[in-house]
Amino acid sequence: MKGNPVDLKKLIQNQKMQVFILNFMIAFFALIPLIVRNGGLFTLCDDFNNQTIPLSMLTNEAIKAGNIFWNWNIDMGSSFIGATSFYTLGDPFFLITLLFPKSWFPYLTGWLSMLKYAVAGWLSYCYMERYFRDKKYAIIGSVLFSFSGFQIMNMMFQFHGSIALSPLMLIGVDKLVLDDKKGYLAIGVFVNACANFYVFTSEVIFCILYFTVRFFMENRLYYKKILHCILEGILGICMAMVLYLPSIAFTLLNPRSYVLLPMERWFELDRRALLYLLRAFVLPAESMCRQSFIYDSNYASKAACLSMIGMALVFCYMIKMRKTWLTRLLVTLACFSVVPFSNSLFNLCSDTNYYRWLYMFAFFMAMASVLVLERRKEFPALKCTVVYFVGMVLFYLGSVWWDKNKFQLIFDRTGFQELFIIAAAGIIITIVCLCLPKNKNVLFLAFLCSISVFSALMTYRVCDAYQAYARGSVESGNGKPVDYYDKMIKLQQIQELPEEYRVDSADNTINMVVPFAGTGSFLSTVNGSIYDFYDALHKERKLFTPELDHGTVQLLSAKYYVTQEKQEDLLIQTINTNTGDYYLYERESVLPLGFTYDSYVTRSEFENCSDEQRSILMLKTLVIPDAKEELVENTLRHYDMKEEGIPGEMDMPDLVKEHQETAAEFQQSHTGFACSLNAERDTYVFFSVPNDIGWRAKVNGTEAKIVDVNGLMAIAVPAGDSQIMFTYRNYFAELGMMISIIGFIIWICYSRRDKRKKD
């Protein structure tokens, strides 16, 4: 039996499909010049080039190879799910790329960005349409949200796609509260929790705020729906637990999770920061890497300006409709944005105090603005816009005067003038459109066309600025798209290296794309034990891995390294790229992954050493927690630092030679590693592998206790031949999978029961 054929004409005439196509085409015309200019490639700079692209390529290859447990290419090694869930693993847009080879990803990024804009427009329209008498005006609202300053500026970050999915939760809340339709909120929670747990957290906080202001403050009878919303939210989280649980558990092991905004900064209203916040709402977005006004660069994601119309119609709505829920919500969000403590709530009080929730503000600003257009006769739109224009001119003149007479505000005068001209031109076009004959169709088309063109031009301008910055910062792994891609592809020609050694590199475009284990990364979502290791050495490790020094090179088995500079070490291979030659070198006197010790010191004794001595001391003797001393004291001798001295750089060759005699034969696998060892006596074997709670070790088939060594691992082995097996299991993912299956079963029953009741 044949199914009903799809009516293509009817599908195209569907307004939601038209919204999707419109937003896609705006993004298409904005990005296609950049894609064509770069031979089909689309790159930006910094996080986009050094995190999103290489991590997506790694994830693509790992999933297809079944390497979804422990991944050796992520820093010193990390849980695959924990490290990638923040960036790629649950992102529906990334999942599409699994249909293609990993090397195609830099060619897909531009098209994926277009799709993200289209989905953002489509879903925002699905939410807004119920609030308009004439639904076609919601189309303008969708464009204003999709191409708001926040969306354009934050294209370089991995959460750009997650923002596109955020209206799903608002749609779910409205359907549950206003229409009594069950199951939609749970699906919205499920999709967003899987896509990006960080963005999802801010969305949950916002939904609580939204329910309070939109419903509870409007009518206390809505309190009856609170429990329903909570239960559906919990159900949605349960459905997402297969990714959400291991992601949260992994993140909580990262010490950065516990660095909170200090109390003295809770209500610190810095003048420059406040002025920058004002700039975020009244001036168009620009590159975060190189800015013209207030700061020369800023990565806090402060941008919310609406394309072309700015804040003019928002103020008009709020002045006229002071008692509506939408005005209350906008005022509340404005207050939250000004006070550091309330702003940090969206980041769970993190000390970074980013503004990565302003897309919510932009969403409702867009809606308020278009409500003014739809009901133009009810609002003094023209007067408000003219006054807003005058205010912008005064803002510009005041900024120039302040820069000359008080303190520096303008870092790029030409760029600042361009921003102001663009903003002023947008307001002038808005005034012209408002002066058109009072015909609804003319007004609608005039605003839709002009905002669409403005959005495309602004998106192109910011992306071009990102690429220009990348061309001028080749040293940070950026460069021209064609050179960036050429480097990644050519470096994959590096010959196969022994698995018992690492490549000394923190360059993601090498470690995550070329299949060998590295020593570092430009990544914050790495195993928490890696932070413990660098903390023990008194080295700061936030986003970047510290450069290896004498001691850590040997300790981490960094036998090989890639560089563009000629070195004295043994040259293994030369790779020719567009930006010059890359050389693969081999160091002498480097230990493999896995060697034994004959002595130990406690962590408290280790803390008495100077920072310069610590890595070499770790190479000399095993550093164990004070509480584990009883476990090792009968096997290893206690190393007396006062009598025997603390080894220095001159002792390195002897230390390496001593350990090489007892090195293990090491072999990596997708689920862990194995090695064989012949020991002259009972001893402990050390592995410079991050200690994760998912590791289980066996020696000759018998389970062995893992001892934490400043974030790394060691186990006891008996005299003679030993077969050692380390197996990694993500117990949180396994538990999360069971909860997700139960959650989906409950959701199906819950949704069907609700549908039968309505029928």
Which residue carries 């990803």 as its tokens? 105
How far is the C-alpha of 624 from the C-alpha of 240, rounded, in Å? 38
Residue 43 scores a pLDDT above 60: yes
| Distance set, CA 652 to CA 616, 619, 624 (Å) | 8, 9, 21
Is residue 227 packed enough to be buried (19+ CB in 10 Å), middle (13-18) or exposed (0-12)?
exposed
H/E stretch holding 56: helix 53-65
Residue of 508, 531, 527, 528 lying closest to 518 (CA atoms): 508
* pLDDT of res. 699: 95
pLDDT-derived band at 477 (thresholds 50, 70, 90) equals low
Please give the average per-residue pLDDT across 216-236, as a whole number.
Answer: 88
* Residue 525 lies inside a defined structural domain of this protein: no
Amino acid at 314: V
Residue of 35, 41, 32, 47 lying closest to 104 (CA atoms): 41
Planar angle of CA 482, 484, 490, nearest 5 degrees: 95
Residue 142 scores a pLDDT above 90: yes
Please give the mean pLDDT across all residues of the chain.
Answer: 90
239-276 confidence digits (pLDDT tens): 999 999 999 999 888 877 777 777 878 888 788 888 99
Domain boundary among 435, 464, 484: 435
* Residue 706 lies inside a defined structural domain of this protein: yes
Residue of 739, 741, 719 lying closest to 731 (CA atoms): 739
Residue 115 scores a pLDDT above 60: yes
Contact 173, 186 (CB under 8 A): no
Instruction: Please report how many Cα atoms fall inside a 13 Å half-sphere around the Cα of residue 151, on the Cβ side.
Output: 35
Backbone torsions φ then ψ of 699, nearest 5 degrees: -120, 115
Residue 292 scores a pLDDT above 50: yes
Backbone torsions φ then ψ of 677, nearest 5 degrees: -150, 140
| Distance set, CA 525 to CA 44, 91, 606 (Å) | 21, 16, 28
pTM of the model: 0.92
The DSSP code sequence of 588-622 is: SS---S-EEESEEEEHHHHTTS-HHHHHHHHHHSE
Scored b (16 or more CB within 10 A) or e, 419-445 reads: bbebbeebbebbbebbeeeeeeeebbe
How far is the C-alpha of 668 from the C-alpha of 70, rounded, in Å? 10
Please give the average per-residue pLDDT across 409-421, as a whole number.
Answer: 92
How far is the C-alpha of 160 from the C-alpha of 117, rounded, in Å? 9
Residue 758 scores a pLDDT above 70: no
How far is the C-alpha of 501 from the C-alpha of 497, rounded, in Å? 8
* Residue 566 lies inside a defined structural domain of this protein: no
Residue 2 scores a pLDDT above 60: no
CA torsion sign for 457, 458, 463, 469 is positive
Amino acid at 52: T
Contact 294, 416 (CB under 8 A): no
* Residue 352 lies inside a defined structural domain of this protein: yes
* Residue 237 lies inside a defined structural domain of this protein: no
| Long-range CB pairs of 206-212, under 8 A, 24+ apart, other chains included | 206/346, 206/357, 206/360, 207/169, 207/170, 207/173, 207/233, 209/329, 209/332, 209/336, 210/170, 210/173, 210/329, 211/173, 211/177
| Structural domain that includes position 624 | 595-728
Residue of 82, 70, 182, 168 lying closest to 122 (CA atoms): 168
| Distance set, CA 630 to CA 357, 600, 617, 625, 662 (Å) | 50, 11, 21, 10, 24
Domain boundary among 379, 407, 435: 435
Please give the average per-residue pLDDT across 61-73, as a whole number.
Answer: 90
Maximum average pLDDT range among 484-493, 577-586, 732-741, 750-759: 732-741
In the chain, how many domains are there? Answer: 2
Take residue 646 and report the two structure tokens written for it: 């603390």
Contact 240, 206 (CB under 8 A): no
Q: Considering the chain, what percentage of its residues have pLDDT values greater than 70?
A: 97
Residues 6+ apart with CB under 8 A from 388: 310, 311, 312, 315, 427
* Residue 504 lies inside a defined structural domain of this protein: no
Take residue 695 and report the two structure tokens written for it: 């590791």
Phi-psi region of 308 (alpha: psi -120 to 50; beta: other; left: phi over 0): left
Take residue 514 and report the two structure tokens written for it: 């070329």
Take residue 64 and report the two structure tokens written for it: 């297809």
Axis crossing angle, helix 440-471 with helix 15-37, rounded to the nearest 10: 30
Axis crossing angle, helix 197-211 with helix 241-252, rounded to the nearest 10: 100
* pLDDT of res. 1: 39
How far is the C-alpha of 43 from the C-alpha of 108, rounded, in Å? 10
Residues 6+ apart with CB under 8 A from 642: none
Is residue 179 packed enough to be buried (19+ CB in 10 Å), middle (13-18) or exposed (0-12)?
exposed
* Residue 156 lies inside a defined structural domain of this protein: no
Domain boundary among 419, 435, 451: 435
Residue 480 scores a pLDDT above 80: yes
450-461 confidence digits (pLDDT tens): 999 999 999 999
Scored b (16 or more CB within 10 A) or e, 626-651 reads: eebbebbeebbeebebeeeebbeeee
Lowest-confidence pick of 86-90, 542-546, 616-620: 542-546
How far is the C-alpha of 53 from the C-alpha of 611, rounded, in Å? 36
* pLDDT of res. 4: 54
* Residue 605 lies inside a defined structural domain of this protein: yes
CA torsion sign for 207, 210, 214, 217 is positive
Residues 6+ apart with CB under 8 A from 399: 293, 409, 410, 416
